[in-house]
Amino acid sequence: MSKTTIAIIAAAALVAGIIIYNKALHPPEKKPANMAGKERVLQVSAVVAAPTILDNNVIASGTLVPSEEVDLHSQISGIITSLRIREGSPVAKGALLVKLFDSDLQAQLEKLNAQLAIARETEERLKQLLAVNGVGRQDYDNALLQVKSLGADIDNIKAQIEKTEIRAPFSGVLGLRNVSEGAYLTPAVTVATLSKTDPLKIDFSIPELYASQVHAGDRLTFTVAGFREKFSATVYAVEPRIDEDTRTLKVRAVVKNPDARLHAGAFANVELALATIDSALMVPSQCVILDVRSKKVVVAKGAKAEMRVVTTGIRTESAVQITSGLSAGDTVVTSSLLFVKPGMDLKVAVSGK
């Protein structure tokens, strides 16, 4: 065998090896298993759009807050002489919680009361003398002025004494105290927190889309951590304006809490039932194809694929409402949506049939 023949055989073997290697790296694309070869009929699943009753429920995150809450502060500075705060205990409105040193004020009050008693006796004697012209009008007016002046001074001292007391502004439950008896208290120090926990309030926000559908008196349910049951509450106030940053509307509801099972500050999963829609067209969420400018669904019409631009509404966990673009009775494709082309032949298997 000549050298030329050997070279030709070697070149042919090299070319064949390159072809086999390229085929191994780039195998031919396979068509979908459910697509017939020549006819290109795509097997798909579908549902028939039918009107259904839709409960329009809004899910939101909320927080339980006290119906009333205040940090207790003193109006003046002084030594605490009596501390009647039982942490975590209920108190009635007007109950004395803290008393500051007031002996100096009490002494001034006693002195003024004695002066007032004498001034009144003097005023009464001059009044009788004035009736028989036994004293001038000016002397009686001076005596009367003294009585009124001492009365004003007494009212001022009593007001100062009231400032040495901290009383409960409403009935509620005391929190943990931050001071002890004998401490020097200033207005900057928070003595404790007083909260009214029956009823409690729930603050939550909903999208502005539902702003016109929420009213005082609407009922809602909510859950909190640690409880399996659902609690009920009633909307009693709605913020008059929409938050410009979040585009949400703040809503406040009230819930009874007589047994103190619920605690202020807890996170609440709120479910608010709005108006019920009697004839909503609902399709599975995976039916809706999103693109840059619109939302579309594939409708099987006469065994042919047809693209429909739709408008969506309310969403649930597994379905979405179609508000325009579909009619009752349309067959909506739910599978193989990546392979569907407009006008393609379809073999449809309708769910439930």
Q: Which of 254, 277, 300 is the last residue of a domain?
A: 277
207 in the same domain as 62: yes
Question: Hey, how many other C-beta atoms are within 10 angstroms of the C-beta on 223?
Answer: 15
Same domain, 214 and 302: no
CB of 319 within 8 A of CB of 278?
no
Domain boundary at 277, 300, 321, which?
A: 277
For the chain, the residue count is 353
Q: What CATH number has the domain bearing residue 109?
A: 1.10.287.470
* Residues 234, 266 within the same domain: yes
Average pLDDT over residues 336-342: 88
User: For residue 235, is it within any domain?
Assistant: yes
| Structural domains of the chain, count | 4
Q: Is residue 151 part of a domain?
A: yes
Q: What is the CATH number of the domain that holds 216?
A: 2.40.30.170
Contacts of 19 (CB under 8 A, 6+ apart): none
Do residues 268 and 206 both lie within one domain? yes
**Domain identity same for 290 and 327:** yes
Angle (deg, nearest 10), helices 137-162 and 103-131:
160
Per-residue pLDDT at 191 exceeds 90: yes
Q: Each residue of 53-88: pLDDT tens digit?
A: 887 788 899 999 999 999 999 999 999 999 999 999
Do 202 and 273 sit in the same domain of this protein?
Answer: yes
- Are residues 273 and 283 part of one domain? no
User: Does residue 272 contact residue 60 with C-beta atoms inside 8 Å?
Assistant: yes
Whether residue 107 is found in the same domain as residue 254: no
In a domain, residue 271? The reply is: yes
In a domain, 288, yes or no: yes
**117 occurs within a structural domain:** yes
pLDDT band, very low/low/confident/very high, at 212 (cuts 50, 70, 90): confident
Tell me, yes or no, whether 48 and 82 share the same domain. Answer: no
Tell me the pLDDT of the chain averaged across its residues.
87
79 and 183 share one domain: yes
Residue 126 CB contacts under 8 Å (≥ 6 apart), including other chains = 135, 139, 140, 143
- What integer pLDDT is reported at residue 115 of this predicted model? 95
Q: Could you tell me if 203 and 269 lie in one domain?
A: yes
pLDDT of residue 351: 79
Q: Is residue 212 part of a domain?
A: yes
**Are 268 and 328 members of one domain?**
no
**326 neighbors 309 (Cβ within 8 angstroms):** no
CA–CA dist 322, 280 (Å, integer): 8
Residue 6 within a domain = no
pLDDT digits (tens, 9 = 90+) for 13-23: 665 665 665 55
Domain range enclosing 80: 74-98+167-189
Domain end point (choices 146, 163, 180): 163
Q: State residue 314's pLDDT score.
A: 80
Q: At a CB cut-off of 8 Å and minimum separation 6, what does 91 contact?
A: 97, 168, 171, 172, 173, 174, 194
Give per-residue pLDDT as tens, 131-163.
Answer: 888 888 999 999 999 999 999 999 999 999 999
Judged against a pLDDT cut of 90, whether residue 336 lies above it is answered with: no
Residue 78 lies in a domain: yes
